[in-house]
Structure 1
Amino acid sequence: MNSESREFSTKVLIFLSISFMAHLILNAVIGVPIFQHQIIHSYTINAALAVGIFWGLTSLKTKYSNQIGFMFLASSFIKFFVFFMVFYSPYKADGKIVFLEFVSFFIPYTICLILETYFLSKQLNQM
């Protein structure tokens, strides 16, 4: 793992840990079970996907520098595929997706997406 990937992985871990703790505290404050809506799976799967995709894209950036943007877009499709395979059915089991289910997935997804975009654009600007 190169230094950029290590730095990215560390940032993902830090930001998601802070967000996860805040999320659990907020769940406790509003009176819902803190670990409901597959929150642990959501954070871990989003972190693993972000680190894996970032590692893959950074390892391919010199060989496929002209196509790296398309590869990044393809990675978003991979994330949506994983969402529909892992989370959609349990979230939709009662016939609707409630706000708490939505944010349980969307918060870690958004944090990872922002970090991926920032770090990848920083690397591509150095090329």
Structure 2
Amino acid sequence: MINTINPIFVFCFKLILLLIAVFGIHLLVLSYLNLPLFSNLILASYSVNYLLAIIIFIALFKLKKKYLDILGFIFMGGSLLKFAVFFIFFFPNFNKNGSIDRLESASFLVPYLACLVLEAIYASKLLNNKL
């Protein structure tokens, strides 16, 4: 059977499902530990990571035919972009008291790593011409 579903749509759908599940687990852990649920820009962090992951995947998908030989470097550049966004928009808020605590780190790193895993799986499929 020929796959007629757009790979970008499939990626976006799987990513939102993954992030909803991870967000739910993240909130359950925070609740279990009696910690504030929606502090440390957690909603913004999940949203920004979702949008950046989609932008990065679309760029990889559109550039795969012309730049297949450097697609891995483009993928790494996408990760660099995510960290640049973190340092420009999130870091100043997290570092207001002079240090970044574990909750602040987790609010960025948990969605970042979840997105990174799915992005890496799809980047691998792109590199192996399976998409």
TM over 0.5: yes
1:24 maps to 2:2: no
Query: What residue identity is the alignment partner of 2:58?
Result: W
Contact 2:49 2:111 in 1 (8 A): yes
Higher alpha-carbon deviation: 45-54 or 116-125 = 116-125
Shift of 1:33: 1.4
Shift of 1:22: 1.3
Select which of 82, 85, 95 maps to 1:82.
Answer: 85
| Runs of 4+ in structure 1 over 2 Å off | none
Aligned equivalents of 1:15, 1:69: Cα separation in 2: 23
Query: What residue identity is the alignment partner of 1:5?
Result: I
Select which of 17, 35, 38 maps to 1:14.
Answer: 17
Query: What residue identity is the alignment partner of 1:123?
Result: L
Which residue does 1:47 correspond to in 2?
50
1:118 maps to 2:121: yes
Shift of 1:20: 0.7
Q: Deviations over 1:2-30 (max 9, x none)?
A: 71111111111001001111111221221
Which residue does 2:6 correspond to in 1?
3
Aligned equivalents of 2:67, 2:24: Cα separation in 1: 38
Q: Deviations over 1:39-90 (max 9, x none)?
A: 0000000000001110111001001111211111111111111000111011
Aligned equivalents of 1:6, 1:120: Cα separation in 2: 15
Q: TM-score, normalised by structure 1?
A: 0.94
Higher alpha-carbon deviation: 22-31 or 55-64 = 22-31
Query: What residue identity is the alignment partner of 1:15?
Result: L
Gaps of 5+ in 2: none
Contact 2:75 2:123 in 1 (8 A): no
Which residue does 2:61 correspond to in 1?
58
Aligned length: 126
